[in-house]
Structure 1
């Protein structure tokens, strides 16, 4: 039989070179070439001149990014690749870095400088014409945190427990009043509206004094004293715990005890159709040509209040000039709000952003059902400031009010009411109120809606709406399903943001290679 020569002990005159073993168009060379152009001065600030020499930060950065490009996220697996994978060996020049050093570089050295590195890579891609940074598509997704699913703290539970403590104090006070002598009764009992350590202490002392005066011989007195001892022993300690938890919560409704920065969010249904509340982060990205040009991590469960900080981060990444050059922003109805429309208008950005009822308005059946009686379709006289109901009755303005959103943004509302709906033949289908029909309108928001409606129904707007679904959503599909990035491996908001950034940079370089 005829076989090719095989002899493991065969000596060679010249040893093999990595350059000969790695093809010219291999992704590892693209990573090497691009990261060689990056200015690492911000990264050098994380290093000390004292002590043993460190591994070169450029080499560590190349290894880390290339590892994420190949779906290798564990520091131990990166160490193994540096020993066994020829591409990693070429990048590191045969340096064997242990997993602890890899982990320290990722969590400590890289944290402060990474966004600067990310922005430099995006600008290099812009120089090649892959992105213009003048139009972006924005969307968000929830990614599960590295935290226990059953280690939750809820703001409503804290509120309920504090109210329960107040009720117990009030009940015990009333009992002490009932058993005390008539001359000892306090004519002005304390107000049990808000609990504090001082209130707990003073009320407990007063109750104790009254119970001592009663003799404490009955079973009810003994139970009251036992309850008082429990209050003295636990209430102040529990209040300290609740206040500490409220400080962690800030404006959130929940957090996880094993990752205090993670918020419990309703995740999308899985293959078993059982969507659950899980500790997670809300990741927001801006893309162009399916390249991530901006990313932020948020603790809010919805997208509507994330846009302002997301745009601020865009300016931090690329500077004020690039921010002024940003012309268009496309997003779904999750971002449609008066505050966001005003924000985009102030920054001279054309908003291809739906409002919450835009898709319904495109439905003919919805239009036929709501065309006559919906408040959006009532005739409005802008000169004299009144509406006309479906029966032709004038609805005059009764008053104005101001309402603030969760972010503190003030909304000005105008209220209108019909004068007489009695005997109206269409009252049952027009409205269900027992009084005359009344409506409230936010004229500032309605003006924005009218502009958005025309913009989205224009030829360019229709194209943008179609493009959005194939621009930003496939990026999340690649990250979550192709790269198996469905759960963070690090804990804490800053580390989570760094981890997502590494995934984003790896994704961009994959697009560059493709």
Structure 2
């Protein structure tokens, strides 16, 4: 008895279709690629068109290239070569590009050169479109930062401290040879006192080396070690000091940079896969969010968030012609400089300071019974009362400047006699009478922040911050596997992050 044959659907690769299939029919109505298409179609691309020359051969349409790039970042396709392949293989990219096939050089040049002046404007238009739809607010924002590894070699570094140490060695060596030359110089070649090597530059080093060679070359019986040192100094020091000056110009206010991306600074990354806390070249990315949409972004070379807020808010004002009305941020931004900035701009600041979270803990407070903030202050006599009842009298001010040049002033108060006090050792650890420093302005700002953060609205904003701004970084880094920039140089890295920000907003809109 013959076995019954299974039934299959028709399959014939040579079958000719009466009407060819349209790509439009193959794209689902709710697919994110349609949102990319709709959003880019709505924005004004005149700033981008201005990047093209009016003469020469025709170019691929910038609107098409922008759609391809943005959808690439939406779908985790970041490489220009992979984008080139996708335009030939993926129906979504083929639909966006209208069956155009730009090569990877064209895509890379468009991303790195054409978008340089226009992408910020494109991003701002996307944000304003979303704001018009009621999806986000540009007035109430949450601010946070993260570090993204640069596309740079972690072993080709330049450190400011190493340059300073080498320059100190040069000063010492030149000073020693100069002293030796003074001891053997004749009256007609008598050398003056050694040059001032407090600050050395190429001109000073070269003139010192020339003078030493001039004097010592005329002498017989010069110490062989000194001759050897002078030869090395003559050969290496002028070139080295010129190199150090170039490196210091690149460093600016930073402590380090990578030779393969001189705009990248060495920072400790939390997400380091080696888990050994080593420093890597990276950028500090700051974002403002609203409902998990990115409202503003800036990139910074300094690893700490504290000094980034001024420039970040300035960019917000430049983009939207006004400052936000409300800013919520974590303790990384809680400094006197930032509180002063926010007050000057009349921005409601729900910003924690360093010990805010610990101060909510009763156990922590119980362990610090003698801290300065627990001491009683007598405003009439302008004095504090120590735990044993002594007056701590005002003895003057201390001033310090931050790395950004912001000046802080603290008032100092000193106890009269701590000798033999039974609380000595528990109250303070210093050998003499206890001195406390009180930054009056900062204490006022911290008190104001404490009241705001513990108000009903403040508690709500603190809770919302954790699931508004932080998940955006988590989504980009973990879900979309973007942990390292592909381009080099701050200008190009800003373009790359701008594309990521637009992609994040479109993904959120699609969701």
Do structure 1's residue 513 and structure 2's residue 505 form an aligned pair? no
Distance 2:148 2:9 in 1: 52
Distance 1:183 1:43 in 2: 71
Distance 1:37 1:136 in 2: 25
Distance 1:187 1:59 in 2: 72
Paired position in structure 1 for 2:444: 447
Distance 1:36 1:181 in 2: 84
Do structure 1's residue 279 and structure 2's residue 281 form an aligned pair? yes
Distance 1:113 1:251 in 2: 29
Do structure 1's residue 328 and structure 2's residue 326 form an aligned pair? yes
Do structure 1's residue 94 and structure 2's residue 96 form an aligned pair? no
The structural deviation recorded for 1:48 is 0.8
Paired position in structure 2 for 1:297: 299
TM-score (norm 2): 0.96
426, 429, 438: which one aligns with 1:432: 429
Distance 1:192 1:2 in 2: 93
481, 484, 488: which one aligns with 2:485: 488
Q: State which drifts further: 206-215 or 28-37.
A: 206-215
SS of corresponding position for 1:306: helix
Distance of aligned partners of 1:507 and 1:425 in 2 relative to their CA distance in 1, 3 Å threshold? same
The structural deviation recorded for 1:401 is 3.0
Could you give the per-residue CA deviations for residues 419-458 of structure 1, whole angstroms, max 9, x where no partner exists? 1112211122111112211111110000000011111122
Do structure 1's residue 22 and structure 2's residue 24 form an aligned pair? no
CA RMSD of aligned residues (A): 1.6
Aligned residue runs from structure 1 range 309-458, under 5 A? 309-320=311-322, 323=323, 326-370=324-368, 372-458=369-455
SS of corresponding position for 1:428: coil
Distance of aligned partners of 1:366 and 1:2 in 2 relative to their CA distance in 1, 3 Å threshold? same
Distance 1:3 1:286 in 2: 56
The structural deviation recorded for 1:175 is 2.3
SS of corresponding position for 1:49: coil
The structural deviation recorded for 1:210 is 4.4
40, 61, 67: which one aligns with 2:66: 61
Distance 1:13 1:205 in 2: 89
Distance of aligned partners of 1:488 and 1:419 in 2 relative to their CA distance in 1, 3 Å threshold? same
SS of corresponding position for 1:149: coil
Paired position in structure 1 for 2:495: 498
Could you give the per-residue CA deviations for residues 54-112 of structure 1, whole angstroms, max 9, x where no partner exists? 11111111111011111001111111111111111111111111111111111111111
The structural deviation recorded for 1:183 is 8.5
The structural deviation recorded for 1:362 is 1.4
Distance 2:9 2:206 in 1: 91
228, 231, 234: which one aligns with 1:232: 234
Distance of aligned partners of 1:254 and 1:271 in 2 relative to their CA distance in 1, 3 Å threshold? closer
Distance 1:435 1:50 in 2: 80
Distance 2:207 2:495 in 1: 49
Distance 2:77 2:107 in 1: 12
SS of corresponding position for 2:467: helix
SS of corresponding position for 1:247: helix
SS of corresponding position for 1:234: helix
Cα pair 1:30 1:513 within 8 Å, conserved: yes
Aligned residue runs from structure 1 range 252-267, under 5 A? 252-267=254-269
Paired position in structure 1 for 2:3: none
Distance of aligned partners of 1:197 and 1:36 in 2 relative to their CA distance in 1, 3 Å threshold? closer
Alignment size in residue pairs: 506
19, 35, 38: which one aligns with 2:43: 38
SS of corresponding position for 2:304: coil
Q: State which drifts further: 177-186 or 194-203.
A: 177-186
The structural deviation recorded for 1:271 is 5.3
**Structure 1 portions without partners, runs of 5+:** none
Distance 1:109 1:461 in 2: 43
Distance 1:132 1:193 in 2: 54
Paired position in structure 2 for 1:128: 133
**Structure 2 portions without partners, runs of 5+:** 1-5
Cα pair 1:269 1:276 within 8 Å, conserved: no
Cα pair 1:144 1:281 within 8 Å, conserved: yes
The structural deviation recorded for 1:199 is 3.1
Distance of aligned partners of 1:209 and 1:6 in 2 relative to their CA distance in 1, 3 Å threshold? closer
SS of corresponding position for 1:411: strand
